[in-house]
Amino acid sequence: MIYQSGTGVTLAVDPSTSDVEVWEGTQSVVLPCQYSKVLEEIVTVTWSRLDLSPSTVHERGEGDILINQNKHYSGRTSMRPDALDSSIFSLILKEPVPSDSGNYICSITDEGSAPCSPLSLWKDRSHIVEEEGERKACFTLTLDRIQFTAQEKHR
């Protein structure tokens, strides 16, 4: 599915990847988020869960910014080293556990611009933010849920 804003910036969303299911004990899981345009400016990518406090799961600017990261995810998240160059902002979550289940939001924000307001987050949608007379596209991608199913181990 492709969503295009009035500014001509496009966010590609693959509906088949919006529901990620893994087994407890899985080594890692990838939550997909890809931006279809080459980024010319420094941006900040934030993965969050609004049901947590603090809500930040992982944040990346010129490098990882983990100061506001929820302690539950400490040492268990990463993104591709070339994420800003490749525009692939997928989150790698190591050693997922059932309490990781929830709605994850991938937000891409231009350096220095206001972040997306939680009130204006739309599932698989983009919207335009007016800031000092300049129109900026603000994109969010919400993954429905990560479902974990415990599997009995057979001896």
**Structural contact between residues 18 and 4, judged by C-beta atoms closer than 8 angstroms:** no
**Up-side HSE of residue 21: CA atoms within 13 Å toward CB?**
4
Domain boundaries, the chain: 2-148
User: In tens digits, what is the pLDDT along the chain, a chain of 155 residues?
Assistant: 333 333 333 333 344 445 666 766 788 888 888 776 666 676 788 888 888 999 999 999 889 999 999 999 999 999 999 887 888 888 899 988 878 887 788 877 765 444 444 333 333 344 444 445 444 444 443 433 343 333 333 44
Query: How would you classify the pairing of strands 145-149 and 19-23?
Result: parallel
What is the residue whose two structure tokens read 């890809």? 34
For residue 136, which of 145, 149, 127 has the smallest C-alpha distance?
A: 127
* Fold annotation for 2-148: Immunoglobulin-like (2.60.40)
